[in-house]
Amino acid sequence: MKEINSVEVANLIESLCIKANICAPEDVMEGIILAKAHEDSSYGQAVLEDLLENIELARKERMPLCQDCGMVVVFVDWGQEVLLVGSTLQESIDEGVRKAYLENYLRRSVVNDPLYERKNTGDNTPAIVHCRLVGGNEAKFTVVPKGMGSENASALAMLSPADGQEGVINFVKSTVAQKGQNACPPLIVGVGIGGNFESAPILAKRSLLRPVGSRNTDDRYSQLEEKLLEEINGLGLGPGGYGGRVTALDVHVEFMPTHIAGLPVAVNVCCNALRHASGHL
């Protein structure tokens, strides 16, 4: 059995947190460049120019793309033939987050208690960890620092099976119409359909990791993505929400089996600063 020391996990998480906060993924940058070619609104053009300049500056000056360096979400695919030695998975991930945020001028935005004390934990921990056990002898990590401005624009609906495709489209569209302007458009909209009350939102978040411009491999869901993108851009919110053609750079839909009585739909809205970085041990 292969052994991985928790220090290795912490070191990898640290470097992924730094990279994700400073370097915009290529596909997101290309999405913004493409949006600029399609945008006819002058306000929209000005916002997209700012964003491209911001991406360059952040990389050059090694500054975070956004002051909201997020709450850190970590997707882990842990090979069953790997044994973790030292601390627990949560502890080793938190150690990496702590070092990254304390030593690299990243904003710490986590409070200990949501309702009463609301005291900053000081080191941006804990991270939110979604771990799957998979085959093999590798551990794969994807770090997603997710800002709350766009999390606050996200929503879950437990639709009825009879609501069908139309119900899904209406819910996604109305979610973006209501709060999309608050969430730093152009957006990337992640949609998770199926599963149950807790799995649909995780699917939606996971869908954000697919490259901007990619389509679901299932034709029906691929067409749904196209349809949703057209509908969302038809809202006319535009870059910055000031009006324009490009409200979303892309829409990703992921699906999974569900119960005979259900049609859960989760919409995870992401701002233009979609940040993620991956690595493995």
Partner 1 sequence: MNIKTKRIKTPLNDKIVESLHMGDRVLLSGFVYTARDAAHERMLKALRQGDPPPFDLRGQVIYYAGPAPAKPGTPVGSIGPTTSGRVDRYAPVLIEMGLKGMIGKGKRSEPVIAAIKSHKAVYFGATGGAAALLAMKVKSSKVIAYEELGPEAIYEILVEDFPLLVVIDSEGNDLYSMGPKKWHTFKVIEEDERS
Q: Which residues bind partner 1 (CB under 8 A)?
A: 41-43, 46-47, 50-51, 53-54, 57-58, 61, 63-69, 105-109, 118, 120, 122, 149, 152, 174, 177-178, 181-184, 234-238, 240-245, 271-273
Nearer to partner 1, 58 or 203 (CB): 58
Nearer to partner 1, 111 or 133 (CB): 111
Nearer to partner 1, 237 or 277 (CB): 237
- The nearest distance, CB 62 to partner 1, in angstroms, is 8
Nearer to partner 1, 108 or 130 (CB): 108
Alpha-carbon distance of 278 to 281, in angstroms, equals 11
- Which residues are CB-contacts of 109 (< 8 A; sequence separation ≥ 6)? 68, 69, 70, 71, 120, 124, 148
- Which residues are CB-contacts of 94 (< 8 A; sequence separation ≥ 6)? 125, 126, 127
Alpha-carbon distance of 130 to 142, in angstroms, equals 10
What are 111's two structure tokens?
């409070």
- The nearest distance, CB 194 to partner 1, in angstroms, is 26
Element (H, E) at 137: none
- The nearest distance, CB 13 to partner 1, in angstroms, is 19
- The nearest distance, CB 133 to partner 1, in angstroms, is 36
Nearer to partner 1, 59 or 130 (CB): 59
Closest CA to 270 of 174, 149, 169: 149
- Which residues are CB-contacts of 269 (< 8 A; sequence separation ≥ 6)? 150, 151, 153, 154, 175, 176, 179, 180, 183, 187, 189, 190
Place of tokens 């495709």: 165
Pairing verdict, β 277-280 and 248-258:
unpaired
- The nearest distance, CB 181 to partner 1, in angstroms, is 5
- The nearest distance, CB 264 to partner 1, in angstroms, is 23
Nearer to partner 1, 102 or 133 (CB): 102
Q: What share of the chain is helix, strand, coil (3-state, %, to 5)?
A: 40, 25, 35
- The nearest distance, CB 127 to partner 1, in angstroms, is 18
Q: Which residues pair with 270 in a beta bridge?
A: 188
Nearer to partner 1, 130 or 245 (CB): 245
